[in-house]
Each structure stands twice: as structure tokens, then as C-alpha cells.
Amino acid sequence: MHLTRRDDTTAPPLAGGDQAWVLVSTALVFIMIPGVGYFYSGMARSKNALSLIFLSMLSLAVVGLEWFIWGYSLALAKEGGVFIGDLRQAFLMGVGTAPHPNAPTVSETVYCTYQSMFAALTPALAFGAAAERSRILPAIVFLFVWSTLVYNPIAYWTWAPNGWLRTLGSLDYAGGTPVHMSSGFAALAYALIVGRRQGFGKEEFKPHNYANVMLGTALLWFGWLGFNPGSAVAANGRAGMAAIVTNVAAAASGLAWMLLAYRHERKLSSFHFCSGAVAGLVAITPASGFVQPWAALVFGVVAGVTCHFAGDLKHRLRYDDALDVFSVHGVGGLVGNLLTGIFADASIAAMDSASIAGGWVNGHWIQLPIQMAASAAGAGWAFVVTLVILFIMNKIPLLRLRVDEEEEALGLDASQMGEYNYDQIMVNGTISSNMQLHASTLTSPTAIHVDALK
């Protein structure tokens, strides 16, 4: 995304290799969106599994249209004020083969398509906080409004040529603030507005499908190798370095989180490994085009430890972030932004002729306060504006956010979609899978009352 100025002022001609790489990266980021759905689906209870995959795909569709209508023009306008872009490229008017300043060797059509995947992924991340009790119709409206009022301004501040965070000197290579902090703090607002699930604090909510959690993690890790390296918008050495540090941070964070969790039950948990790997991917995102591989190891360990303990906040403060979106993306994004201020290295940016002053490793001490200011601005805007959006929506009967108690007990797959991720049946008024029913009949066959659920 080239958040730094190149030394040369003459744009090189369009490069076929660069365009091909960015199109491949677009496909890699695309796969992250259903990846989020599978990751969240596995973490939820079986009666809500399909709805979370569906919400991720709805984000791809709704935000894709918002991006076409005005999102791209508002978020990445080549001209505009310091706060938001203009509407000169609404409906992608004027978007053609001429390059964008952020991608001088790639046609703007390719760059626009690549950026649309970032926009679609971001609100899909936030839905995990309100999993298992939020209605789908209001979620569709939320996707469009939130992308317009939250994602687009923060993306503009961070990446657009005239954005105020960019001109301030904030470093964010691939979306620590626009993607992860914005979705994490939006998730916190969503969890607070929609309220706690029935049984919160009284019953244990466990993932129903660990294989889906691992599949989602694999798709996310795979896609992140286009998310971060693709942000070079060129097939060059800096993209290769971004790939290396992305992999190192994910591996270190996954192992750190898993080993921390080992102290509780003396078991090596795939779930904790996956959570840690995603936290490491989040943390390295803003720094991926700025840091050395040895620094990525620090990012991974710090993210794994910090996000692991941040997950305890919801129990202490009694808010129900169902799938730990805030602790992984909000806290992980903050960790990544701050560590970028320390470890950003001017020599890495120079690999594709970009010029930065660097962070503390280069003696540029002001970079950390700049990163703190950028983080505060992104988090504050995302949290407050999301609260306002959801508060207003919740006052409109058609857009009421939460399902009623009966629908929540039934599960969103049945109550909101009339479709099921598994063959399911009703056991004493509770949705159970055939496997669960079979286990129950083995222990107490006379206690089961079964009604077919069609």
C-alpha cells in the first residue's frame, strides 16, 4: 500500500509482473473472508455454525457494492481533504489503466480490486463479538453503514496521499489501524450494545468443531501471505521480506499462546495454537513492510502473550465478546502499531525505494508517540461511531439487533436462516446433532424425547 514516499518522482511504466502479483494477492485476501467464517463457525456452538460463515460471505457482497458505489472514492481518493476523500470516483468513474499514487506500476483497476478485499474483510471480523444472538437483517445494513462511516475514513487517514495520519508520519503497512483496531474496537461496541448471551458466566461456551477452527486458521494464514506481501503492490524484495516476517510472527505467537495455555490442563491445545497464530498475524500486519525478521520474532511472542491475557478481560469486566475479537484484533492491532514505532527499520522500506525515518532502532524516538496517536484516533473513532450506529439502529423496530430468547435458544441457523450446518434434531427442546443424540441415548435412552426438525 506504499505508505511512504518514493524517492523518485517519475512513475515507472506499468509492470505485468507487478499486476499479476497484486491480482494473485487479491485472490489470497479473498480466501481470508470465508476463512474468518470457518474460524468463527468452529468456535461457536453447532446451532449457530452456518450463520457465521454466511455473515462473512454477506460482507463480501455488501461491502463489495459499497466499495463500487462510493467506498473506494471516499477511502483512497487521490485528491481530498485531510479527513475523507471526495466522490469524484464514485461508481468507479475514471478508474482505469492509469496508476494510483500508492501503486505506480499497477493499473488503478487492479489496485482498487485488491483494496476492496481489505474493506470486505474488516467488518466480517467484527461480527464474531456478537455471535449467537444477533439478527442477520440488521447486520446487512450495519455492513454498508459501518464501511462508509468507520472503515472509509480510517483507511483514508492512514493510506490516502492527503490523509492526516499519513502526513503526520504514521507507519501502517497493511492495516493495523484500518483493519484490525477498527474491527476490534467495533466488536467491543457491538458486544456491549447487543448484550450478553443467555447463560453467560453460568455455562461454558466451547468450540463445537475444532477442525473448522484449524481450517479457518489455515485459510487465514494462507491468505495473509497476500494480505501483507501484496501490500507492496509490486513483486519485489520488500514483498518477500513481508512474507518472511508474517510467517515468523504467526509461528512464534501460536507457540507462545499454546505454551501459556499448557500450564492450565497440561495439554497442547490446537485451539490455543490457532488463536495465537491469528494474534501474531494481526500484530505483524502494520509492521510487515518495515521490520527485520528477528524483530518479527519479538512481535509474535509479545502478541501471543499479551492477547492471551487480554482474553481474560471479558470475564473480569463481564462483557460478552463471544469469539474474542477485541482481545485478538483490537489488542493485537495495538501491540503491532506500538512495536512498529520501536522496530521499524529504514533499510527495509528502502528495498523498494521508499524513504522513512524508521523507529527507535534508527534513533527516531518520535515514531512511537506518532504510532500511539494513530492508534488512539483509530480506536476512538471506530468505538464511538460504531456505538452511535448500533444505538440508532436498535431504536428502529425492523433493525432491532438481537434475536428474542426463543430464537437464541433455537440457534441462528434455524431461527434466522431456516437452514442447518448439520443434520439436527430437537431433544427436550434443545437443538442437538445426531452424534450428540446418539451419545445421549447410550447413557439414558428413556429420558430422550425426539421431534424431527424439518
According to CATH, the topology of domain 13-399 is: Ammonium transporter fold (1.10.3430)
Looking at residue 440, its pLDDT comes to 43
In whole angstroms, what is the distance from residue 388 CA to residue 232 CA? 35
Looking at residue 203, its pLDDT comes to 84
State pLDDT tens for residues 158-192. 999 999 999 999 999 999 999 999 999 999 999 99
Of the listed ranges 3-17, 62-76, 236-250, 428-442, the one predicted with least confidence: 428-442
In whole angstroms, what is the distance from residue 143 CA to residue 325 CA? 17
The residues, any chain, with a CB within 8 Å of residue 42's CB and separated by 6 or more, are 49, 207, 208, 209, 210, 211, 212, 213, 214, 215, 216
Distances (CA, A) of 147 to 124, 142, 302, 344, 384: 11, 8, 30, 29, 14
The pLDDT of residue 431 is above 80: no
- Computed on alpha carbons and rounded to an integer, the radius of gyration of the chain in Å comes to 22
In whole angstroms, what is the distance from residue 4 CA to residue 12 CA? 17
Sorting pLDDT into bands at 50, 70 and 90, what band is 7?
A: very low
Q: If you average pLDDT over residues 359-369, what whole number do you get?
A: 97
Of the listed ranges 164-168, 330-334, 423-427, 431-435, the one predicted with least confidence: 431-435
The pLDDT of residue 286 is above 50: yes
Looking at residue 8, its pLDDT comes to 42
Looking at residue 421, its pLDDT comes to 85
- Nearest Cα to 257, choosing from 327, 205, 194, 314? 327
Of the listed ranges 225-234, 253-262, 314-323, 439-448, the one predicted with least confidence: 439-448
Of the listed ranges 186-190, 271-275, 316-320, 337-341, the one predicted with least confidence: 316-320
Sorting pLDDT into bands at 50, 70 and 90, what band is 121?
A: very high
The pLDDT of residue 451 is above 80: no
Is 11 in a helix, a strand, or coil? Answer: coil
Looking at residue 13, its pLDDT comes to 76
The pLDDT of residue 202 is above 90: no
Q: If you average pLDDT over residues 81-89, what whole number do you get?
A: 94
Cell of 202: 453460568
Where along the chain do the CATH 1.10.3430.10 domains lie? Answer: 13-399
Neighbouring C-beta atoms of residue 409, cutoff 10 Å:
16
Looking at residue 432, its pLDDT comes to 53
Cell of 392: 440508532
Cell of 235: 513483486
Sorting pLDDT into bands at 50, 70 and 90, what band is 12?
A: low
Share of the chain above pLDDT 90, in %: 84
In whole angstroms, what is the distance from residue 159 CA to residue 157 CA? 6
- Nearest Cα to 44, choosing from 423, 441, 412, 426? 412
The pLDDT of residue 29 is above 70: yes
Of the listed ranges 63-72, 79-88, 285-294, the one predicted with least confidence: 79-88
3-state secondary structure 51-107: HHHHHHHHHHHHHHHHHHHHHHHHHHCCCECCCCECCCCHHHCCCCCCEECCEEEEE
Q: Are strands 99-100 and 103-107 parallel, antiparallel or unpaired?
A: antiparallel
State pLDDT tens for residues 333-355. 999 999 999 999 999 999 998 89
Looking at residue 106, its pLDDT comes to 96
Q: If you average pLDDT over residues 360-369, what whole number do you get?
A: 98
Looking at residue 435, its pLDDT comes to 44
The pLDDT of residue 239 is above 60: yes
The pLDDT of residue 27 is above 60: yes
Cell of 1: 500500500
Q: If you average pLDDT over residues 137-150, what whole number do you get?
A: 98
In whole angstroms, what is the distance from residue 140 CA to residue 55 CA? 8
- Is there a contact between 307 and 335 (Cβ–Cβ < 8 Å)? yes
Q: Taking all residues of the chain, what is their mean pLDDT, rounded to a whole number?
A: 91
More confident residue, 435 or 181: 181
The residues, any chain, with a CB within 8 Å of residue 224's CB and separated by 6 or more, are 28, 32, 246, 250, 281, 285
The pLDDT of residue 208 is above 90: yes
- Is there a contact between 181 and 333 (Cβ–Cβ < 8 Å)? yes
The pLDDT of residue 154 is above 60: yes
Q: In what order do the strands lie in the sheet with 450-452?
A: 430-433, 424-427, 450-452
More confident residue, 399 or 447: 399
